[in-house]
Amino acid sequence: MEFTIKKITSPEKLQTGILVLGVFADGKLPPSSRAVDEASQGRLARLIAHGELDAKPGAALLLHGLAGVAAERVLLVSLGQSDSGAPGDKAWRDAFAAAGKALAATPAKDGAIALDGETLPPGRGLDWALRQASRIVADSAYRFDAPRTEKKEKGAMKERGARKIAFALSAATVADKALEDAVRQGQAIAEGMALAKDLGNLGANICTPAHLAGAANALGKQFKFKVDILEREDMEKLDMGAFLAVARGARQSPKFIVMQYHGSRGGGDDHGHGGKAHKGKNADKNGKPRPVVLVGKGITFDSGGISLKPGAEMDEMKYDMCGAASVIGAFKAIARMELPIDVVGIVPATENMPGGDATRPGDVVRSMSGQTIEILNTDAEGRLILCDALTYAERFKPGCVIDIATLTGACIVALGKIPSGLLANDDGLAEELAQCGTAAGDPVWRLPLWEEYQDLLKSNFADMANIGGRFGGAITAAAFLSRFAKAYKWAHLDIAGTAWVSGEAKGSTARPLPLLAEFLLARATGGEQPH
Ligand code: BES
Ligand code: MN
Ligand code: ZN
């Protein structure tokens, strides 16, 4: 997909396959829509007055061959009611999602989206809008390339979707490289999301730990960053007893993937930004850069192990590597954006399978940190692979560590499927992530991590048990992880409810990649919140 920014004075004269216009449900027309309405002798206003366009934000109405208008098609999208002045973030995003959906399905080859300053949500700037818009529109065109015998999408259908899309801004807008950058950033994030979605949607027979390692290696080659793959012997040498306890039931070899992106050094490697990232949150007191470390849970299939899961919907446990996929996808996005920041990605990858040599409930293992763990339930495996990855992360002297994991069904019970769960040992980091989640439309909600919860992990046979009983499961899982994250600022994102959708539209969402990208962008550009 190719995006451009066009500055225009007369949207009605724009030669394009499909022109997308925002309108308010109560009939108020932003400048671009007003111009098209006037050129078409008030056609838009009449259609809205007749109730042809549903009031709900994101409702859409497609018009063909509008008299007096150069565009072949005009798509009206509702921004909701105008009474509050401008749409909120959600209404605005819903409108762009509708635009993206229409642009992905149209037979038109090219399209344009009018983006009037008057329609921006309060407090949001054009760069924010262009970054969101290009990401949403590019992401709408994502299709999983399923291996089917017959290609059903033959002929006209196959060709659908506008490939060239222009953002039409008022000619009065100040020309600004920041706006071009914002469009490229959104596109880079969508590209990372497509990779994350592909990895998530693949069956676990294809998307094995070795496959994840291959995907990381391929990215490292393409963008020239360092990728190390640790094998079982390496993990044994490092005494990763918790991770290895999960891997022992599987025939597939475990992989411990380490990606290192150095954007802060500038010069030499063509990133050319230098300096900037050595200040503030991304550096220690002496100005030495400290990386952001992302840790992604990479269970390529979670059968539960000897504590076998029930059969219903077990296929969805192929998605238990979505944390890993979001980290690998984030690396694609930051490398494309050439962000001037240092980021380390760690992915412990293995299957969780039952087998003659699998870990049993009651087994006690020693983690890389030296702390011992009584494994009471082999289905609480995510925390076992993550705890060794968190210990391994210490060697990078991180500015902060964020782990991303489809960790607990309890998180879905607590929060539903709207926000990801957020737990942290640092209020500043938690607040930063929450704000970036809101800005990216990829929300998180914080749960408490009080000392009192630690008692629930007591064991008679080891330093701790790997489960904390029936209640507060998302919190006790994080309480477990916090024991391995004492050396740095740390946040944990539980994405069990947000990483994929079930039912007819079953598929990976790539969440929380939009949040991670927003966070890294903000950190790379001096720690200010993106707007
Ligand atoms: N991968 C699952 C969590 C999960 C469950 C994610 C359902 C999405 C949907 C995780 O490994 C797991 O099995 N957790 C257990 C923990 C329990 C045994 C303490 C759970 O949530 O039931
Ligand atoms: Mn499990
Ligand atoms: Zn799991």
Predicted confidence at residue 274, as pLDDT, reads 43
pLDDT tens-digit profile of 49-68? 999 999 999 999 999 999 99
Q: Which band of pLDDT confidence, cut at 50, 70 and 90, is reported for residue 264?
A: very high
Q: Compute, in degrees rounded to 10, the torsion defined by CA atoms 219, 225, 228, 229.
A: 0
CA distance 63 to 72: 9
pLDDT tens-digit profile of 432-491? 999 999 999 999 999 999 999 999 999 999 999 999 999 999 999 999 999 999 999 999
Q: Which band of pLDDT confidence, cut at 50, 70 and 90, is reported for residue 153?
A: low
CA distance 282 to 397: 11
Burial class (CB in 10 A: 0-12, 13-18, 19+), 122: exposed
C-beta separation of 504 from 319 below 8 A? no
Q: Which band of pLDDT confidence, cut at 50, 70 and 90, is reported for residue 267?
A: very low
Q: Identity (one letter) of the amino acid at 468? A: G
Q: Is the pLDDT of residue 155 over 70?
A: no
3-state secondary structure of 364: strand
- In angstroms, the first-to-last Cα distance of the chain is 25
Q: Which band of pLDDT confidence, cut at 50, 70 and 90, is reported for residue 530?
A: very low
**Closest ligand 1 atom, residue 473 Cα:** 19
Q: Which residues pair with 69 in a beta bridge?
A: none
Q: Is the pLDDT of residue 373 over 60?
A: yes
Percent with pLDDT over 90 in the chain:
90
User: Separation of 352 CA from ligand 2 center, angstroms?
Assistant: 8
Domain boundaries, the chain: 2-144+163-169, 187-524
Fold match between domain 2-144+163-169 and domain 187-524: no
CA distance 517 to 44: 38
**Catalytic entry in 28, 309, 366, 446:** 309
Mean pLDDT, the chain, whole residue set = 95
User: Separation of 360 CA from ligand 1 center, angstroms?
Assistant: 17
CA distance 430 to 445: 9
Q: Which residues pair with 524 in a beta bridge?
A: none
User: Separation of 283 CA from ligand 2 center, angstroms?
Assistant: 36
The CATH number of the structural domain formed by 187-524 is 3.40.630.10
Burial class (CB in 10 A: 0-12, 13-18, 19+), 464: buried
Q: How many CB atoms lie within 10 A of CB 493?
A: 31
User: Separation of 380 CA from ligand 1 center, angstroms?
Assistant: 6
Q: What is the mean pLDDT of residues 173-185?
A: 92
Q: Which band of pLDDT confidence, cut at 50, 70 and 90, is reported for residue 529?
A: very low
Q: Is the pLDDT of residue 276 over 90?
A: no
User: Separation of 244 CA from ligand 3 center, angstroms?
Assistant: 15
Predicted confidence at residue 110, as pLDDT, reads 98
CA distance 169 to 157: 31
Predicted confidence at residue 282, as pLDDT, reads 87
**Closest ligand 1 atom, residue 377 Cα:** 18
Half-sphere exposure of 434 (CA within 13 A, CB side): 13
Predicted confidence at residue 275, as pLDDT, reads 45
pLDDT tens-digit profile of 73-102? 999 999 998 877 789 999 999 999 999 999
Q: Identity (one letter) of the amino acid at 323? A: G
pLDDT tens-digit profile of 302-332? 999 999 999 999 999 999 999 999 999 999 9
Q: From atom 22 of ligand 1, which residue's Cα is the shortest distance away?
A: 409
Predicted confidence at residue 527, as pLDDT, reads 53
Q: Which residues surround ligand 3, an ion (CB under 5 A)?
A: 299, 302, 320, 382
339 closest CA partner among 198, 219, 184: 184
CA–CA distance from 235 to each of 174, 205, 214, 244, 360 (Å)? 55, 23, 18, 7, 20
3-state secondary structure of 86: coil
CA–CA distance from 289 to each of 334, 339, 340, 458, 486 (Å)? 17, 14, 11, 38, 20
3-state secondary structure of 175: coil
Predicted confidence at residue 84, as pLDDT, reads 73
Q: Identity (one letter) of the amino acid at 329? A: G
C-beta separation of 491 from 402 below 8 A? yes
Q: 33-71 burial, b for 16+ CB within 10 Å, e for fewer?
A: bbbbbebbeebbbebbeeeebeeebbbbbebeebeebeb
Q: How many CB atoms lie within 10 A of CB 446?
A: 16
Q: From atom 6 of ligand 1, which residue's Cα is the shortest distance away?
A: 496
Residues 6+ apart with CB under 8 A from 55: 25, 26, 78, 80, 81
**Closest ligand 1 atom, residue 467 Cα:** 19
Known catalytic residue: 184? no
Q: From atom 14 of ligand 1, which residue's Cα is the shortest distance away?
A: 408
Distance of CA 449 to the CA centre of its chain: 24
Q: Is the pLDDT of residue 176 over 90?
A: no
Q: From atom 3 of ligand 1, which residue's Cα is the shortest distance away?
A: 408
Contact residues of ligand 1, CB 6 A cut-off:
302, 320, 377, 379-382, 406-410, 467, 473, 496
CA distance 347 to 297: 6
Top-confidence residue, 518 or 173: 518
Q: What is the mean pLDDT of residues 343-363?
A: 98
pLDDT tens-digit profile of 415-431? 999 999 999 999 999 99
Predicted confidence at residue 181, as pLDDT, reads 97
Known catalytic residue: 360? no
Query: What sign does the CA torsion over 392, 398, 402, 408 have?
Result: positive
The CATH number of the structural domain formed by 2-144+163-169 is 3.40.220.10
Q: Which band of pLDDT confidence, cut at 50, 70 and 90, is reported for residue 281?
A: confident
Percent with pLDDT over 70 in the chain:
95
Q: From atom 13 of ligand 1, which residue's Cα is the shortest distance away?
A: 379
